[in-house]
Chain A
Amino acid sequence: MLEIKNLHVKLEEEDKAILKGVDLTVEAGKVHAIMGPNGSGKSTLSYVLSGRDGYEVTDGTALLEGEDLLEMEPEERAAAGLFLAFQYPVEIPGVGNMTFLRTAVNAQRKARGEDEMSAADFLKVIRAKAKDLKIDAEMLKRPVNVGFSGGEKKRNEILQMAMLEPKMCILDETDSGLDVDAMKLVSDGVNALRDAGRGFLVITHYQRLLDHIKPDVVHIMADGRIVKTGGPELALEVEHNGYAGILEEVA
């Protein structure tokens, strides 16, 4: 599904290397988790994959189902099936959440040569999905993320994911800021989307989320590289011992 090879990334504006050779393959149907100390490059990886400005790829490749992601515009990547749940969802005053989502859904459909979703169908679907995530009608009407609490923003990300039905979902610290109940809602939302054709890359600092969204593979990222890969037990090890041991071991 997602195949990253030897990815090197530096900041466009300054000579600062952030990703220093990332190798990572997420297979369809699998959930991979990435953990790692603050500043190790996890968000950078997710931004580079989704096409944000400000980074320069100096080496390596990233393919989504065999297609070169790095050559595409952000909207093309989305239409190709890539989705990033942002660590910090952006507020867009003046753009209604509903308008935004409908525009996004239909733009992606159009890009894929599919029919647009009618207003009525869209409404039906979004209401049902919003209800599952306990997002009320009033929140749907509000401008995108404006005045949403931290947890509401994260739920809104998952709602977008549920509506867009991407093939490859990257979740960047979607658990941060969520209370226990919201964590359950969000995890249920993610688990409902798990299927054989879809891959997940879940970035998190805490084992807690991985109790709900059971990963197949866990990676540890440090200083711009994946330094260790293992099964779910690796997350438990981090939970109990922190990163010190792992980092020493690989140093």
Chain B
Amino acid sequence: MALPKIKQDATEARLSALDLPEGGWSARARGEALARVRAMGLPGARDEYWKYTRPDTLVGAEAPQAAVFDADEMPVFDAVDRLKIVFVDGVFDADLSDDLALEGVEIDRLAEARDIHWAQDLYGVLEAKGQSPVERPLAALNTAFASDGLLIRVTQTPSKPISLVYHHRSEVSDAILHHVVKVEAGAQMTLLENGPAAARFNKCMEVDLADTARLHHVRTQGRDHERRAATHIFARLGTESVFKTFTLTVNGVLTRNEVVVEFTGDDAVAHVAGACMGDGDFHHDDTVFITHDAVNCESRQVFKKVLRNGAVGVFQGKILVKPGAQKTDGYQISQSLLLDEDSQFLAKPELEIYADDVACSHGSTSGAIDDEGLFYLRARGVPRGLAEDLMTIAFIAEAVQEIEDEGLQEEIVGRVEAWLARRRS
């Protein structure tokens, strides 16, 4: 079916502002992805999947400016013993990065394309698979035009996490990065990400977990107030593998995080969690799609949003249980804490189940701080502002607890506390 003219024009306008990188081994995948973009067209305001989030600034030919924000707070994860890899406005920075050497892990840059690479079997492949039943054109755009990214293959459990650090220095930067992470059987890794990557950021990460592999992913999207981002994670889970991903988002005018998980092997576990703190001109969208196509897998989605001064939170989460995916355990909760009447939470939880022996539940709530709890704290001498902060931290706790490492949990909570404290006085 031909695209509506308006959509076609918008898509071509965006494409004309981009150059297809020289691909090497990825050239074919990029070409196919470009064809996908042209066939689907970039998201438009009328698209059902973009009902709650306006895509125009994410798909426009030019990135809207975003001021660079200088915070004197120490960046998150700085105290963690890690292998640090830095991108500045989407450009790899060798000086700021550690050597890309870590025992048990092969790390290459997408931009240093050679002729053959293990990532060839994955690059754009999981993304393409994730285009049905729902189209995700920004991810295809990413596959076609990503200027760089990391190709990380974990063969043995490394001694420390890999930490991707993004810096935003230019008010007009428009970055497209694409990472591929493949964890081999029996290996596990923690992947950290933090920092505002660019004025506008389109990021895609494909994750392939072999049988019994484990990946823990903890990400923060913070600091800059005007940044925009559209991110995708496509994860494929083999037998008995475990994938846990948690994202803390603060500030930023517009963020859409999509996570697409597919269980292909039995007895695997995926936990997708997020917390966001929005104040004022803030629109945050978590869109999750989990496909159970194997037996006895567990998926959990836990999303908490704290919204004030007109901030908007969106959650679209779906659990699809395919025929034969018996003993599926699917859980989904999305909640918002609205700190005033101007803020808004829009949720669209969906279950689609074609197997009979499954346990799936979902829930979505929106509410204010519990008055009883607040009074109890104040009656013990905790001042109102601090009491509200404690209650707010408590509200997001269920999501934060999805992070396996307690040290990282504390780090995240500390960030949120500081963010709240800055707004208190």
Q: A-side interface residues toward B, CB under 8 Å?
A: 50-53, 73-75, 77-79, 84, 86, 89-95, 99-101, 103-105, 107-108, 111, 143-144, 160, 164
Contact = CB atoms under 8 A, between A and B. Distances in A.
Nearest to A91: B373
Given A53-B371, A92-B373, A100-B390, A107 B381 contact: yes
Contact of B375 (A52, A79, A93, A160): A52
B397 interface: yes
Given A94-B398, A107-B383, A51 B378 contact: yes
Contact of A75 (B383, B391, B397): B383
B72 interface: no
Interface string B386-409: 110011011111100000000000
B101 to A, nearest CB: 39
The 5 closest A-B pairs by CB, nearest first: A94-B394, A78-B381, A94-B397, A108-B381, A74-B378
Contact of A92 (B376, B379, B381, B384): B376
Contact of A90 (B373, B384, B386, B393): B373
B375 A111 contact: no
A93 B399 CA distance: 13
Most chain B C-beta atoms within 10 Å of own C-beta, residue among A73, A84, A107, A164? A107
Interface range on chain B (Cβ under 8 Å from partner)? 20 to 34
Contacts, number: 83
Nearest to A163: B380
Most chain A C-beta atoms within 10 Å of own C-beta, residue among B372, B391, B394? B394
B375 A104 contact: no
B393 A94 contact: yes
Nearest to A99: B390
Nearest to A104: B380
A78 B386 CA distance: 15
Nearest to B401: A94
B394 A92 contact: yes
Nearest to B387: A75
Given A52-B375, A53-B371, A90-B372, A160 B380 contact: yes
A74 B377 CA distance: 9
A93 B372 contact: no
A84 B297 CA distance: 48
A103 B375 CA distance: 15
Contacts of B13: none
Interface string B354-382: 00000000000000001111011111111
A178 B380 CA distance: 22
14 contacts: A51-B375, A53-B371, A74-B379, A75-B383, A75-B384, A77-B379, A79-B381, A89-B376, A93-B397, A94-B391, A94-B393, A95-B393, A99-B390, A107-B382
Most chain B C-beta atoms within 10 Å of own C-beta, residue among A84, A92, A101, A143? A92
B376 A78 contact: no
Contacts of B381: 75, 78-79, 104-105, 107-108, 111, 164
A64 to B, nearest CB: 14
Contacts of B377: 92, 95, 100, 104
A92 B391 contact: yes
Most chain B C-beta atoms within 10 Å of own C-beta, residue among A101, A104, A143, A164? A104
A77 B382 CA distance: 11
A243 B211 CA distance: 73
A73 B383 CA distance: 9
A93 B394 contact: yes
B379 to A, nearest CB: 5
A51 B379 contact: yes
Most chain A C-beta atoms within 10 Å of own C-beta, residue among B370, B376, B393, B397? B376
A103 to B, nearest CB: 6
Nearest to B390: A95
Nearest to A160: B380
Given A92-B373, A92-B377, A104 B397 contact: no
A79 B386 CA distance: 15
A50 B393 contact: no
Contact of B386 (A73, A89, A94, A107): A107
B248 to A, nearest CB: 16
A73 to B, nearest CB: 7
Contact of B376 (A79, A90, A94): A90
Contact of A86 (B376, B384, B391): B376
B382 to A, nearest CB: 5
A103 B381 CA distance: 9
Given A90-B372, A92-B373, A73 B397 contact: no
Contacts of A143: 394
B379 A78 contact: yes
A75 B387 CA distance: 10
